[in-house]
Amino acid sequence: MALGGLEWARASSGRLSASERRALLAPILATTLRYTRDRLRLDLGLRRDAIPGLDPDAIAIPDSRLVQEAERECRETLTPATANHSYRTFLFGLALASLDRVELDVEHLYTACLLHDIALESPSSERCFAVAGAERVLEVAGLDAKTGESLAEAVALHITPGIGYERGPLAPTIAAGAMVDLLGLRLCDVPADYVERALARHPRRGCTRQLAACWRRETETFPAGRAAFVERYAGFSFFLLLSPFPE
């Protein structure tokens, strides 16, 4: 039973065991070091100019029932700041997937990104927000069982430090896109023009402070989960407030 996935989420509700906590320390350290390197690259102006074939205005999102339901859930459940973060997570994740030459289903990525934080603003003492989000994904109309399990797996898994493409493309792509938007991790790999258009399309609207507050509430409400562990050992909400984006 792999840490962070849907089977683990169903069995644990997102509570970490002692051995799982120890296993997360190394990837947290690696992410912290990468964050430091990437922020230095930004400060030095070492920025990628372009990603061949990537145009945010040419991204084709299918007008499917699945997409419509995901957009409705996102729009009706989340505040504008968190909803726009979800849309930007998709755009930034897609950019990095293109750069890394990762093949994925755009419709599925779009849906999972819009729903990845669907429970973040409503913390529960019973389970972590990513587990609650995975459960919500399974309720979205228009999902066949296989697709539902795949998307729910990605949402449950995306906050697990150190996840890689060996667990499938969706979860690490969601995580990568979210970390661009929240911390500036790998922001130097996304062309400035692309970032500007993403921000113009989906403004931040105080995203940084709001999501930092949401993260802290999650850690206080569910202290046994991954969010609380990352907060304790990496000071995640503090680094959120050091976001390189103007609000």
DSSP codes, 103-157 = ---HHHHHHHHHHTTTTTTS--SSS-HHHHHHHHHHTSTT--HHHHHHHHHHHHH
pLDDT of 90 > 80? The answer is yes
* Neighbour-count burial of 124, counting CB atoms closer than 10 A to its CB (0-12 exposed, 13-18 middle, 19+ buried): middle
pTM: 0.97
**Which residue is listed with tokens 């979210």?**
178
Strand segments (E) across the chain: none
Q: Tell me, what's the pLDDT at 158? A: 98
pLDDT tens for 131-142 read: 999 999 999 867
pLDDT of 231 > 90? The answer is yes
Overall average pLDDT of the 70-76 stretch = 96
Q: What is the mean pLDDT of the chain?
A: 95
Q: What is the number of alpha carbons within 13 Å of residue 76 lying toward its C-beta?
A: 6
Judge contact between 95 and 51, C-beta under 8 A.
yes
Give the percent of the chain with pLDDT over 70: 100
DSSP string spanning 163-184?
Answer: --GGG-SHHHHHHHHHHHHHH-
In the numeric block, which tokens belong to residue 70? 């995901």
Question: Which pLDDT band, with edges at 50, 70 and 90, does 119 fall under?
Answer: very high
pLDDT of 143 > 90? The answer is no
Overall average pLDDT of the 117-125 stretch = 98
Give the percent of the chain with pLDDT over 90: 91
Crossing angle of the two packed helices 207-221 and 170-183, in degrees rounded to 10? 120
Q: Which one-letter amino acid corresponds to residue 228?
A: A
Question: Which pLDDT band, with edges at 50, 70 and 90, does 53 fall under?
Answer: confident
pLDDT of 81 > 90? The answer is yes
